[in-house]
Amino acid sequence: MALTIISLMKQVPLPSEMRMGDDGLMDRTKAKSIINIDCGYALEAGLQMKIDNPDAKLIVCSMGPPSFDVSLKKAISMGYDEAYLLSDRRLGGSDTYATGLAIATMLKHLGYAKGLNEDFVIVAGRQTSDGDTAHVPSQVAENMDLPQATFIEVADLKDGFVTAKRIIEGGYQMMKLPIPCALSFTPTGVDPRRPSLEGAVKARNSKVTVFNIDDIGLSDEKIGLSGSPTIVAKVANIVSQRAPAKMTDGHGEVELVSNLIENIKAGKNNVEIKEKKAAKEKKRPEGFKDVDFRDGASGILTWAEVVNGQISRPSLELLTPARNLATELGNDTKVMTLIIGKDLGDMPKELIAHGADEVIVVEDDRLQEYRILPFATAFEQVIKDKNPEIALFAATTAGRELAPRIGVKTDGGVTADCTALEIGEHFDRKKKIVYAPILESRRPTYGESKLATILGFVCPQISTARAGTFPVPTPDASRKGKIEKFTPKLPEKDFVTEIIETVIGEGGMQGLFEADIIVAGGRGTTSDGMKMVKDLADALKAQGINAEWACSRVMVDEGVAEYARQIGQTGKTVRPKVYVAIGISGAVQHIAGMVESETIIAINHNAKETIFANADFGIVGDYEDILPELIEKVNGGFTFGLDPK
């Protein structure tokens, strides 16, 4: 049978329009619908594969309301051959777990599965702009028992093997995997092509095949609310309002810069937020039955990711919420940490010093580098053995693909990218049941405008935590804990994926999204071609800070910087901890790309510029004067309040 390239696609509201409500709230209904950005790149990746495999059939699949028809037809106009939509009211309320299952079932119905037609490859977007979980590709892969590669930038398909470039923290990895397999794509590869008119005519005359769940043989208990192990318990608005900038007083650059540093140390101006009425102490309604769904599960399991022979910082951060949760749960709840690798040395001890009670060590020569399949298998076996009630992962590229894959293995849901983790209780008013204790995972959603609380009712309750949200616990070398070896049974098929090479330090522009501080130059930094902007970023790097430099659109037009570094509406949207805008006037287009930064510092010679209305700290002065002084201070140890790596 001929090769089939299957693209998974979701239609989403246009993200920029979703932010634009008059009241500052998200309004999905008025927003125009588009193909999710990452899915557009996956569609193109499929079309690129067709170049080397001209006989391949291209199909596009989606799950959602009938209105998704528009985007499916757009895929046909781009060059896809067939389109399928799983559309059923009973699917409403499905979480990512149920979605992954439903899509895998639809593909099986179409004949694509292990044991049926195996000559296929699945291409999907990394994540959607309205969900941001990045779960579904992993969950589809696990449900179909396929190898996977996520966060792929470009991929080639030749002779039954996919060679893919996977973006990882600070670099990339080249990997080779056999088909059938599932790939998810970042929006950094080949830009999605525009439809041709001929394609649009073809799409107009084509028909999207629509299935309901009965058609594909999926029972309604497995989908929708009843089939979803997680629920959204509540959604609160995040009120983000920037207080007026603290402007720096002083004469001459030396005084100005030192006053700026004092201001930064003293902190931002605060917005006066009207105190909300304190939440009323919830009275437990009468007649409610307590349910402890943990059913004997106990303890918190975390994953210590090893990168370049070290425990990654986000994995250490994870021990902070883990300890807090253990304390909240009481009853001597244990924090257990799983570490997998080769030659782990003192790393288990380091984990205990940072707060783990028990470290489970898996050492295997084949596991020196992270690979999803054997790691997921090892995890599954450890979970069976230890029966933890909660499992936590750092939301790194590895954590974000591993957690959902494990979630499918344990029939549980996953909450992605949390910024707060607490123990609470949940009242089911219909069934008159109180679920307690339960993990409340909170995550920003809808473009950071709301905070959703997600609950899962299957143990382990799995969440990934956003890197940089929690502090690394202060290590205590005298802490005692148990170190235990574990030898998982790893089948050969877990090693079908080959890592060809791992390159760190050439991550392309992914660094912009990960930087703690971005130094951005605008028109005012033309005089030396942004040299001092780059110098400032370098000086910060020399201090061990994760710094990057970027620019406003005019610098790209000037040819001073490449487009990949452009921040703003037509460039990148970033949210570093600190954003230093130098010589940038603050056109609305630029503001749109950086307004969500935690702290914004503006340096401009014109006090009237709009940028100051969007900053926390401001300094009015000439680029040529202020920057050398500031660079000197950084060389002397000033890091804008950021901790070195």
Partner 1 sequence: MNSISTDVLIVGGGPAGLSTAIALADKLKQRGENKRIMLIEKGSSIGSHILSGAVIRPQIFEQLLTTGEFDGIPFDSKVGADVTVKLNESGGETKLPFHPPYMSNDGNYIASLAQICKYLATLAEERGVEIYTGFSVDSVVYDSDNKVIGIKTKDTGVDHHGMKQKNFQEGTTVKADITVFAEGTRGSAVKTVIDKLYLDAGKNPQIYSLGVKEIWKVPEGRVKVGSVKHTFGYPLKDKQEFGGGFIYGLTDNRVAVGLVAGLDYQDPSFDVHAAMQIWKTHPYVSKILEGGSVIEAGAKTLPEGGWNSVPKYYADNMMIVGDSAGFLSTPRLKGIHLAVESGICAATAAADALVKNDTSKESLSKYEELVNSSFIYKELYPTRNMRAVMQDGMILGGLKMGVQLITGGACLMVPKTEADSDTTKKTKEFSSQSFQNRFAGKLEYDKKLSFDKVTTVYYSKAMHDEVQVPHLVVKNPEQFKSSNINEYGLAEASMCPAEVYELHIDKKSGDKSLRLHAENCVHCKTCDIKSPNSGIIWTTPYGGDGPEYNMM
Give me the residues that bind partner 1 (CB under 8 A), please: 22, 44, 47-48, 190-201, 204, 526-527, 557-558, 563, 569-570, 587-589, 610
- 86, 206 contact by CB (below 8 A): no
What is the DSSP secondary structure assignment for residue 419, as one 8-state letter? Answer: S
CB of 72 to partner 1, least distance (A): 16
Cα–Cα dist 537/517, whole Å? 8
Here the contacts of 335-338 (C-beta below 8 Å, separation 24 or greater) are 335/299, 335/300, 335/302, 336/299, 336/300, 336/301, 336/302, 336/360, 336/386, 336/388, 337/301, 337/302, 337/303, 337/304, 338/301, 338/302, 338/303, 338/304, 338/362, 338/378, 338/379, 338/382, 338/486
CB of 551 to partner 1, least distance (A): 14
Of 197 and 273, which CB lies nearer to partner 1 in the complex structure? 197
Cα–Cα dist 14/30, whole Å? 10
H-run or E-run covering 620? strand 617-620
CB of 527 to partner 1, least distance (A): 7
CB of 595 to partner 1, least distance (A): 14
Nearest partner of 494 among 391, 367, 407, judged by Cα: 367
CB of 248 to partner 1, least distance (A): 23
Nearest partner of 497 among 374, 336, 594, judged by Cα: 374
Of 220 and 558, which CB lies nearer to partner 1 in the complex structure? 558
CB of 36 to partner 1, least distance (A): 17
CB of 49 to partner 1, least distance (A): 12
- 96, 414 contact by CB (below 8 A): yes
Of 422 and 622, which CB lies nearer to partner 1 in the complex structure? 622
| Residue 600 CA from chain centroid, whole number | 23
CB of 512 to partner 1, least distance (A): 16
Cα–Cα dist 400/150, whole Å? 9
Of 319 and 591, which CB lies nearer to partner 1 in the complex structure? 591
User: What is the chain's percent helix, strand, coil content, to nearest 5?
Assistant: 30, 30, 40
Of 310 and 570, which CB lies nearer to partner 1 in the complex structure? 570
Nearest partner of 466 among 420, 427, 435, judged by Cα: 420
Of 327 and 570, which CB lies nearer to partner 1 in the complex structure? 570
CB of 137 to partner 1, least distance (A): 22
Of 269 and 610, which CB lies nearer to partner 1 in the complex structure? 610
Of 78 and 322, which CB lies nearer to partner 1 in the complex structure? 78
The SS3 of residue 515 is coil
Cα–Cα dist 300/421, whole Å? 12
Of 189 and 404, which CB lies nearer to partner 1 in the complex structure? 189
CB of 587 to partner 1, least distance (A): 5
Q: For residue 13, say if its preceding peptide bond is cis, omega within 30 degrees of 0.
A: no
Cα–Cα dist 297/542, whole Å? 46
- 601, 628 contact by CB (below 8 A): no
Of 195 and 583, which CB lies nearer to partner 1 in the complex structure? 195
Of 48 and 463, which CB lies nearer to partner 1 in the complex structure? 48
The SS3 of residue 615 is coil
What is the DSSP secondary structure assignment for residue 567, as one 8-state letter? Answer: B
What stretches of 12-79 show up as alpha helix (H) in DSSP?
15-18, 37-52, 69-78
Residues in a beta bridge with 620: 604
Residue 92: CB atoms within 10 Å: 10
H-run or E-run covering 201? helix 197-204
Read off the tokens for 102: 């439903």
CB of 426 to partner 1, least distance (A): 42
Nearest partner of 441 among 415, 411, 467, 406, judged by Cα: 415
Of 197 and 279, which CB lies nearer to partner 1 in the complex structure? 197
CB of 563 to partner 1, least distance (A): 6
Of 310 and 563, which CB lies nearer to partner 1 in the complex structure? 563
Cα–Cα dist 182/137, whole Å? 7
CB of 599 to partner 1, least distance (A): 24
CB of 631 to partner 1, least distance (A): 22
Of 67 and 570, which CB lies nearer to partner 1 in the complex structure? 570
Read off the tokens for 407: 């979630």
Q: How many residues does the chain have?
A: 645
Nearest partner of 212 among 122, 97, 102, judged by Cα: 102
Of 19 and 354, which CB lies nearer to partner 1 in the complex structure? 19
Cα–Cα dist 308/369, whole Å? 9
CB of 641 to partner 1, least distance (A): 31
